[in-house]
Amino acid sequence: MKKIMLCCNAGMSTSLLVQKMQANVKERGLDIEIEARPMNEARDHLDGVDILLLGPQIGYAKGDFEKDVAGRIPVEVIPMADYGRMNAAGIIDAAVAKMA
């Protein structure tokens, strides 16, 4: 099973997106677990995660997270258009491609 972590400022804005992504994963029969964490908690929960997706509002922190993971996993910023449209399928497809 692959694990995707979404991260944003307080964990609130991604909760709806995570619900949509979880429904999409279930619908498609993918073996992927998805969770959301606020930025101040994410660093403590990176073990076992296969990719870290950052909300566009914290894209500025990508470099810091890349240092934290030291190349173990990809760190990506969700495109503003996909985030705004809650494009669960597109975000999942992009994450799967980066985890491959």
Token pair for 72: 């173990």
Catalytic residue among 8, 75, 77, 88: 8
8 has catalytic annotation: yes
- Residues catalogued as catalytic: 8
